[in-house]
Structure 1
Amino acid sequence: MINGRDSPEQQDAGLLSHDHYKARLGNGFRFRLREFLLPFVRQETEHLARLQSVMRTPILDVYFSYTALLGTHTFFMMFLPIIFWCGYTNFARAMVHVLAAGVFFSGMLKDYLCLPRPLSPPLERLNMSHSTALEYGFPSTHSTNAVSVALYALSTLASCGEDDLSPKVALGLKLVAVIYGVSVVFGRLYCGMHGFFDVMVGTGLGALIWWLRWAFRVQLDTFVYEGGWQVPFILIPIILIMVRIHPEPADSCPCFDDGVAFAAVVLGVDIGVWVFAKSNFAWSSPSPATVPYLFSDLGLSKSALRIILGVVLIFLWRAIAKPTLHAVLPPVFRRLETLGLDLPRAHFISASTYKHVPANIPGDTLPGVNEIKESIRSIGRRRGASVGPQSQADFYEAIDYRERQRRKSSVDGKVGESIQADLDKYIKENEELLKSIEKPRVRYDVEVVTKLIVYAGIGYIAIPVTPFVFAFVGLNPA
C-alpha cells in the first residue's frame, strides 16, 4: 500500500534500470562504461522491429529458430566428442578451445557490462533455449561461436591438399561453413535476440579468437603433445584463476555456469590428450593422440556403436558424478566456512544455509536424458514468438524505457512513439505477468566445484577413456 509520503513517482524510481544497476555495480568505471554503451543498444530497437516486420515469414521463423540451436553450448558439448572419436584430434581440440574461449570471454563481457537485450515489445523473440533468454545481450555469444568455428573450419579446409580432400568436397564444406556462420549471426537479429552492436562485437570477438588459435596452433599442440608434468600443473591453476576472476553480474545470469562448464572441458580434454598421446593406444598420424578410426575397416554399424558407447559413457559419468558430488561437497564446504576458507559468490547460497542440494536441479550446459527426450518430442511443435520481458534484466529495461518516454513526452508535449504506445499497452494489460516474471532458481555454492569436476570428467572421458574402451571391446580398426 502506498502511503501519503510515497507518490507513484517515488515508487517507480526504485525500479528504474539506472538505480538498479547503479546500486549493484557501484558508481565506478564499470557502471559508467555501461551507461556509455547503453544508448548504442537502445537506439537499435526501432530498426530491428522494422527488419522483423519486413522479413518475417513462417519458413524463415523455423529456419532461424532451428539454426540458432547450432550455436548453443549444448549442441557443441554433445557433438564435439564425436569429432575426437572419428580421428580428428587436432581439429576437435581447436574447436574445444575456440568455443570455450568464446563462451567464457563473451560471458565475462555480458556479466561485466550487464547490457540488456533489445526491447520486447516491439520486438518478438524467437527462441528455443530458455536459458539463453535469461542472459544479458552484449555481446552475442552465438555470433562469437559461429564466426570462430566457421573461420577455423575454412582455415583448416584451405590448408588441406588434394590428397586429403577432393576440390568439390572441399568447396562443398566451405559453403557449409559460410552458410552456417551467416545463418547463425543474422539469425540473432531476425529472431529479435540481439542488436547490430551485439552481433558486430560478438563477430569481432569470434574473429580474434580464431586468429589467436590459428596463429599459435603449433605452439599449443606441441605444449600438450610433448610436454611433461608441467602440462597439468600449468593448466589447472589457469582454469581455476579464470573461473575466480569472472565478474559478478547485477542479476542472476547463467553465463558464469556456461563459462565454468566449458573451461572445465578444456582442462579435461587437454589433460586427456596429454595422457593419450603418451599411450600405446593412440596413433601418431596425422597428429599425436589421434583416436584410431578407419571407416573402411569399421563400417557404418561399428562406427555407430562407437558413438553410442561414447555417449553412454559420458551420460553415465554425469548421472553418477553430479549427485555424488552434491552429497559429498556440502559438509566439506561447511567445514571450509568455519575455517574462513570459503569463496562466496553472489547469487549462490553458502552450504551453512541449506541441508542438502535437491536432485535434478535444472540449468546444466549438457542436458540430462529426460531433458533430451522432451527436446526430441518438442521438435515437431511450432515455437511461437515471445513478447514481453523474459528476465529480470528485461523487466528493468522495460520499466526504464517507459519512464524515459514519459519524461520525454512531458517535456515536448508530444505523444510517445509507437514503441511507447505498444509498451504501455503491454504493461497495462499484463501487469500480473510483469509481477510474476520467473525468478532465478536457488543456486548452491557446491554447484561451481561440481561443474568443474563433472565437465572436466566429460572432457577426459571423451579422450582418453572412451578410446581405451573402444580398444578393449574390439571397436578399433584392425
Structure 2
Amino acid sequence: MESVVWQGLALSGIFSWIVITCYFDVTKKIRSLLQPWVSHHVVSGTSIILKIQKHQHKFLDALFSGLSCIVSVPFYTAFLPLLFWSGHGKLARQMTLLMALCDYLGNCIKDVVSAPRPNCPPVRRITATKDEEENALEYGLPSSHTLNTVCLSGFLVCYVLSYTQSEDAFVKLGAVILACLLVGFIGFGRIYLGMHSLIDIIGGLVFGFMILAIWLSVHEYVDAFIVSGQNVTSFWAALSFLLLFAYPTPEFPTPSFEYHTAFDGVVFGIVTGIQQTYHQFHHEAVPRIFTSQLTIPTFLGRMLVGIPTILIVKFCSKALAKWILPVVSNTLGIPIKSTSYVPMLNGSATDKKSSEIKQSSYIHKMLFFSQQDLFDVDTGIRFLQYAGLAWSVVDLVPSLFSHLRL
C-alpha cells in the first residue's frame, strides 16, 4: 500500500510541476536571468580557446576527437548491451539509468539556458564524426561530455571498489586519479576542439558531481524497486509518458529532445524487461565473463547472436510504430504531423503551428487541445523503437542465449 501511495505522489508531483511551469512560463523567466550572464562568459572565454588552439596538431586533433567518441552517448549505447550480456546486470542497469538521468537533466539545463557555443570563426571547431556535428547543434552549457564522464566514471570507480572489496589505499587512490585524469582530458579536449567554452566545462563539472552525489545515495533503492517492487511496469510507463512532457522549450530547435526521447524509451524497455526476467537472467548468481561458466568464445558467440537480433528488433519496432501510431491517432481524432519518419504526414503541416519545434508547448497541447494543434508522431515512434531495442537486450536476447546454450 505504501508503494502505491508514494508512486501516486511522485507522478502527481511531476504532473503538477509540468502544469505550473507551463502556466507561469518558468522556462523563459529562468532563461532571461541566466542566458545573458552565461553568454557573456562564453564570449569572454573565446580568448582562452584561441590560446589553446594555437598549439593545434593533427595528433591532438585525433586524440581529443577519439576521447570524445569513447565517452559519447552512441558509445555507451553500444557498450551497455555487452555489459548486460557479460553477466554484470546490476552494473549495466544502474549505468543505463544514470546515463538517462544525465542525458535528461543535462539537456534540460541546456535548453532552459539556451546559451550559445563558442563562435566559429574565430574559434576552430573540429567535428570528426556525424555525432559530433549533431552535438554542435545543441546549446553549450553544460558540457554533456564532461557531465557524463564525471557521473559514469565516478559511479564505475565506486562500483568496482565495492565489488572487489579492495581495502588498499593505493588502489583506491589510483582509481580516483585515473577517473580525474579522464575527466580532465575530456574537459580540456572539448575546449581544444572548439565545442565548448570554459564556463560550459565548469557547469558540466558542477552539475556532474551534484548528480553523482544524488545517484550514489539512491541507486540501491531504485535498483531494489526495479527488480522486486510493486506496479513497476505501470508506474514506469506513466513516468516515461510524463517525462516526454516535462521538458523545456528551447529558444531555437535542437536535437536534445530527440536524445531524451530515445533514452526515455531505452529505460522503459530495460525496466520492463528486467521486471519480467530478473530471476531467470539477471540475478546476482548468473555466470560472468572471464569465468569457466562464461568464457571468451561463449561471450563472442553471444555478441554474434545478440547484436544482429537487437538491430532487427529496433528496425521492426520502428516499422510497427510508423504504421500503428498514425492509425491510432487518426482513430482518436488527434491531429498529427511527422518531421522525418512518415513522409506523407510531412507536407500537411504548412501553417505556423505546424512548423513549431518538437519540444514546444507539449503540456499546452495535452491540456488545452484544439483542432489546430499538431502532435509530432515522430516522438512516439522514436520512443517505441528504442523501448523495443532495450527490451530485446534484457529479455529476448537472453532467452535466445538460453535456448542456444550460450
What range is the shorter-chain TM-score in? 0.7 to 0.9
1:453 maps to 2:379: no
Q: Deviations over 1:411-470 (max 9, x none)?
A: xxxxxxxxxxxxxxxxxxxxxxxxxxxxxxxx9822110111111112211112211110
- Asked if 1:236 is matched to 2:237, the reply is yes
What is the CA distance between 1:109 and its match in structure 2?
A: 1.4
CA RMSD of the aligned region, Å?
3.1
Q: Which residue of 2 aligns with 1:223?
A: 225
| Residue in structure 2 matching 1:355, options 340, 344, 348 | 344
Instruction: Please state if 1:313 is matched with 2:302.
Output: no
Q: Is the 8 A contact 2:31 2:114 kept in 1?
A: no
> 1-side partners of 2:49 and 2:124: how far apart?
10
Map 1:65-464 → 2, pairs under 5 A: 65-128=65-128, 129-161=132-164, 176-228=178-230, 230-279=231-280, 281-285=281-285, 290=286, 295-336=291-332, 339=333, 341=334, 355-356=344-345, 445-464=376-395
CA separation of 1:70/1:471 partners in 2, compared to 1, >3 Å: closer, same or farther?
same
- Note the alpha carbon deviations across 1:102-148, whole angstroms, 9 max, x for none: 11111111122211101111111122222111111111111111110
Q: What is the distance in 1 between the residues matched to 2:256 and 2:327?
A: 27
Structure 1 unmatched ranges of 5 or more: 1-23, 359-442
Moved more, 296-305 or 86-95: 296-305
State which structure, 1 or 2, has the greater radius of gyration over its C-alpha atoms: 1
1:28/1:222 CA distance change after superposition, 3 Å: closer
Give TM-score scaled by structure 1 length: 0.67
The answer on whether the counterparts of 2:117 and 2:196 sit within 8 Å (CA) in structure 1 is: yes
- Aligned partners of 2:173, 2:206: CA distance in 1, in Å? 25
Map of 2:371 onto structure 1: none
For 2:34 and 2:66, locate their aligned partners in 1 and report how far apart those are by CA, in whole Å: 34
TM-score where L is the length of structure 2: 0.78
Q: CA deviation at 1:85?
A: 0.7
Retained in 2: the 8 A contact 1:282–1:291? Answer: no
Instruction: Report the Cα offset of residue 327 of structure 1.
Output: 3.0
1:37 CA drift (Å) = 2.7
Deviations 1:291-312 (A, max 9, x none): 7656423432221110121111
Give the distance between the partners of 2:75 and 2:124, measured in 1 at CA: 24
Contact kept? 1:25, 1:250, Cα under 8 Å: no
Greater helix proportion:
2
1:164-203 Cα shifts (integer Å, max 9, x gaps): 8999988876665444322222211111100111111111
Q: Is the 8 A contact 1:118 1:195 kept in 2?
A: yes
Partner SS for 1:208: helix
Q: Which residue is equivalent to 1:468?
A: 399
Secondary structure of 2:222's aligned partner: helix
Instruction: Summarize deviations over 1:257-289 as a string: whole Å, max 9, x none.
Output: 00111121111112222212244x44443xxxx
Separation in 1 of the partners of 2:289 and 2:27? 55
Q: Which has the higher contact order (CA 8 A, sep 6+)?
A: 1
Per-residue deviation, residues 332-369 of structure 1 (Å, max 9, x unmatched): 33344xx3x4588xxx6599x962579xxxxxxxxxxx
Q: Retained in 2: the 8 A contact 1:89–1:291?
A: no
Aligned to 1:372: none
Match of 2:44 in 1: 43
Aligned residues: 353
